[in-house]
Amino acid sequence: MPPAGAADKKTEILEIDARNLQTDLVERAGQVIRDGGTCAFPTETVYGLGADGLNPDAVRKIFEAKGRPGDNPLILHIAYPEQIALLTTELTENARAMAEAFWPGPLTLVVRRSGIVPDTVSAGLETVAVRCPSHPVAHALILQADTPIAAPSANLSGSPSPTSGEHVVRDLDGRVDMILVSDDSQIGVESTVVDTTKVPPVILRPGRITKEDLEAVVGEVRLSEGITSGAEPEHPASPGMKYTHYSPRAEVYLTDGTDEETERAIRKACEDADGTIAILTTGPVTEKLRDDMIVLSLGDDPEQYEHNLFSELRRLDDLGADRIFVRMPAAGDRTLAVRDRLMHAAGYRFLPKDE
């Protein structure tokens, strides 16, 4: 957690209309970034916490505000795809093809970094992660700042990513210079991260753009260890993967398997558990087994699960849940991202199968 006493900044909170940008507000936000300050802003994936990505002192403020470990590198956000040329010494044919197919959009490319990328951004790695977001506020802010913007998700390190301005204000008011509040994030989970320095390219973090989407453009793509195994990876391919992530205050437990298996596992766990229990379901709805139990659904398809996941985890904290039992969606290309975030949120904890 961030050091106590760090929340003493005067944070300016501005409401910005994504469909009809107020240029004076964008100019003020761009000035904050140019002056070396921190500004949270909406993107199509989740809200980001930005600073001038070429200014090491500014970048350091991001780590401080979030309480983020310094060895977890940041993503640089650019306004136009061509600007990646500035940040890398080598754009492979695969990287070029993926950028052309999916930018602007929810895809992050890991490439060899050029000399202008500060060590603080890439945490000393020889590579840097780059994304060109499609959200109009993000695009306008990067243009106005006139520099690549380094931005991780705009939450306190370890907690669920923010998908609304309200989430950001709750986590970062008093810790950053400015927060741009706009519409809720359309996608709801972070970008797909792919290491383009490897042949074939390797997905380090699954997201809305799936393995099959990428393979349609560049041929074979691999998944890094841990994404599919359902267990903590022994050698994390991406530094960020070794940290607790996306975790609500409540303890999260997962169930996987047929509808009957997950139903039985949850019933058994409910018998043994005290405190306020919540069930977070994908697909089949478990009936309330007790009056004080909370039952929430993530929706009807993988895109809805992604859209709702983080806001529902935060909602369950607000409702006072002590334990959350999750019915995971069946494994598949389009459910990888939501399963990955759930496994992190649960620290890979599964309910025992009740044989």
Residues that bind ligand AMP (CB under 6 A): 72-75, 110, 122, 125, 127-129, 152-153, 190, 193, 204-205, 238-241
Sign of the torsion angle spanned by Cα atoms 283, 288, 289, 293: positive
Q: Which C-beta is closer to Mg ion: that of 146 or that of 166? A: 166
Kindly give the residue spans of alpha helices, DSSP state H, lying in the chain: 23-34, 56-66, 93-102, 119-122, 136-145, 165-172, 211-218, 259-272, 302-318, 336-345
Q: Which C-beta is closer to ligand AMP: that of 133 or that of 240? A: 240
- What's the half-sphere exposure (Cβ side, CA atoms, 13 Å) at 33? 30
Q: Which C-beta is closer to Mg ion: that of 152 or that of 226? A: 152
214 binds, among ligand AMP, Mg ion, none (CB under 5 to 8 A by kind): none
Largest CA distance in the chain: 63
Tokens of 260: 């009957």
- Minimum separation from the CB atom of position 48 to ligand AMP (A): 8
Distance CA 75, CA 50 (A): 10
Length reported for the chain: 355
- Minimum separation from the CB atom of position 46 to Mg ion (A): 8
Q: Which C-beta is closer to Mg ion: that of 153 or that of 297? A: 153
Per DSSP, the three-state class of 195 is strand
- What's the half-sphere exposure (Cβ side, CA atoms, 13 Å) at 224? 24
- Minimum separation from the CB atom of position 268 to ligand AMP (A): 35
110 binds, among ligand AMP, Mg ion, none (CB under 5 to 8 A by kind): ligand AMP
As beta bridge partners, residue 251 has: 323
Taking each continuous run of H as one helix and of E as one strand, the counts in the chain are 10, 16
83 binds, among ligand AMP, Mg ion, none (CB under 5 to 8 A by kind): none
Q: Which C-beta is closer to ligand AMP: that of 104 or that of 351? A: 104
150 binds, among ligand AMP, Mg ion, none (CB under 5 to 8 A by kind): none
Judged by CB under 5 A, does residue 153 bind Mg ion? yes
Tokens of 74: 């940041």
- Minimum separation from the CB atom of position 111 to ligand AMP (A): 8
* Contact residues: Mg ion, CB under 5 A: 152-153
